[in-house]
Structure 1
Amino acid sequence: MEFSLDNWNHLFKLDPAKEISDEDLDAVCESGTDAVVVGGTDDVTLDGVLDLLSRIRRHTVPCVLEISNLESITPGFDYYFIPMVMNSTEKKWMMDIQHEAIKEYQDSMNWDEIVVEGYCILNEEAKAFKQTKCELPDDDDVVAYAYMAEHIFHLPVFYMEYSGTYGNTELVQTVKEQLKDTKLVYGGGIENSVQAREMKEHADTIVVGNLIYSDIKQALKTVNAVKDK
């Protein structure tokens, strides 16, 4: 049976290109978050990924690799997230890289451990937006991408990525109302428990990333803010 995000409310995302102390990493792993995702945009190397993997593996929290490039793919993670950037202007980021990965790794892929994400990057200043040559969609476009993710591609996840800036809660709610089977994941700009709780009211799962590096105490508080009591 393929993995789903049904019971995952909160994820922490660690960037292999950023430094994190053992103390902070241990706190993240023991926080009660549903999983720790390893992923980033630039300077993601196999060495950086392996370093985080070995340190996270000291804990029991599920560990996920969100694939940034083919060079940093490694066994040892519990799950693998494969992004498809739906608002990219280049087919490369929607299909070609994934095609290349399938050719190379098909024989070792276990689809019980793999989740394909329909990504929509919504911050023009984000590194990922620029790297994947995205076009900024309006609200109707985003809703249509979500519809496509569920009804055309049958993707398990639609990911609204605001990457460093706090998103439009009304749009997140509108997108959630559009989806039935596809899970809505929100990431970007969450700086405190209030914002975490607000976004979790609409999204199925929230992702907290940058806050780990800027204010670890606030980051840790976001876990209890969204967990069902």
Structure 2
Amino acid sequence: MYDVREWRHVFKLDPNKPIDDELLERVCESGTDAIVVGGSDGVTLDNVLDLMVRVRRFPLPCVLEVSSLEIVTPGFDLYLIPTVLNTNRAEWITGLHVEAMKEYGDLMDPGELIVEGYCIANPDCKAAKLTGVSEKPDTEDVIAYARLAGHLWKLPVFYLEYSGTYGDVEAVQQAADVLKGTETVFFYGGGIQTAQQAKEIGQYADVVVVGNAVYEKPEEALKTVAAVQK
């Protein structure tokens, strides 16, 4: 069984974005700790299955981040289940999760399910529009959500998501300080385009998630692995 507490770097690949076989091979053989399959727009069971099959050719964890019930399928090593801490829509806190338990509960291996406490820090991104996040959390908000995830709810993962924008490093640092001594793993995602940015965030976050750069600046994206792992 794979353990997210041992990870430092992951690539998040969007099933709705094309990636050729050569680049996919370089991404999967880059030394990253896992490939997370997930996205907020145009994600279907067909394109999830297609990407899973292609990633499965390589010996690293292949993980599904569940954004809708329609894309849940066997074959992944782990399933990341987001619960959005700063949404104003209850379905993104527990509603969809209850529906999933009704439909798939008997089939799920509890050891493969990891709940992510999401704090979406960019209200203009697609994920925010999808999940009902309308306001940008300030540093005090981020700290409070980190405490909620790590101290009160004791979630496996706290995910600070800036989605397309590079985050507030001070907020990242303070969230990391709050989570020290807890069992909650601190994921950071959003706006990482260079190895230097990955290194900076990697000083504080346990796991650095690189997504859009794979498609926009692939050579720089590949350099982020060594920048974090070292």
**TM over 0.5, shorter chain:** yes
Matched, 1:26 2:21: no
Q: Deviations over 1:111-130 (max 9, x none)?
A: 21111000000012100111
Shift of 1:5: 1.7
Q: Secondary structure at the match of 2:6?
A: coil
Q: CA RMSD in A?
A: 1.0
Percent identity of paired positions between Structure 1 and Structure 2: 54
Distance, in Å, in 2 between the alignment partners of 1:119 and 1:6 is: 17
Distance, in Å, in 1 between the alignment partners of 2:2 and 2:35 is: 15
Q: Secondary structure at the match of 1:108?
A: coil
Match of 1:167 in 2: 167
Shift of 1:152: 2.2
**Structure 1: any 5+ residue segments left out of the alignment?**
none
Q: Deviations over 1:63-91 (max 9, x none)?
A: 00000100011000011100001100111
Contact 1:16 1:38 in 2 (8 A): yes
TM-score normalised per structure 2: 0.96
Q: Secondary structure at the match of 2:25?
A: helix
Distance, in Å, in 2 between the alignment partners of 1:219 and 1:95 is: 34
Q: Secondary structure at the match of 2:4?
A: coil
Distance, in Å, in 1 between the alignment partners of 2:130 and 2:77 is: 27
Match of 1:43 in 2: 42
Matched, 1:72 2:71: yes
Contact 2:2 2:61 in 1 (8 A): no
Q: Deviations over 1:147-167 (max 9, x none)?
A: 111222210100000000000
Match of 2:123 in 1: 124
State which of 188, 211, 214 in structure 1 corresponds to 2:213.
Answer: 211
Q: Secondary structure at the match of 1:112?
A: helix
Distance, in Å, in 1 between the alignment partners of 2:150 and 2:8 is: 20
5 Å-filtered alignment, 1:1-229, equals: 4-134=3-133, 135-179=135-179, 180-228=182-230
Shift of 1:138: 1.8
The count of aligned residue pairs is: 227
Q: Which consecutive segments of 4 or more residues in structure 1 shift more than 4 A?
A: none
- Counterpart AA for 1:182: T
Contact 1:142 1:175 in 2 (8 A): yes
Contact 1:156 1:182 in 2 (8 A): yes
Q: Secondary structure at the match of 1:118?
A: strand
Contact 1:79 1:115 in 2 (8 A): yes
Q: Secondary structure at the match of 1:87?
A: coil
Q: Secondary structure at the match of 2:43?
A: coil
Distance, in Å, in 1 between the alignment partners of 2:43 and 2:121 is: 22
Q: Secondary structure at the match of 1:20?
A: coil
Contact 1:87 1:136 in 2 (8 A): no
Shift of 1:3: 5.2
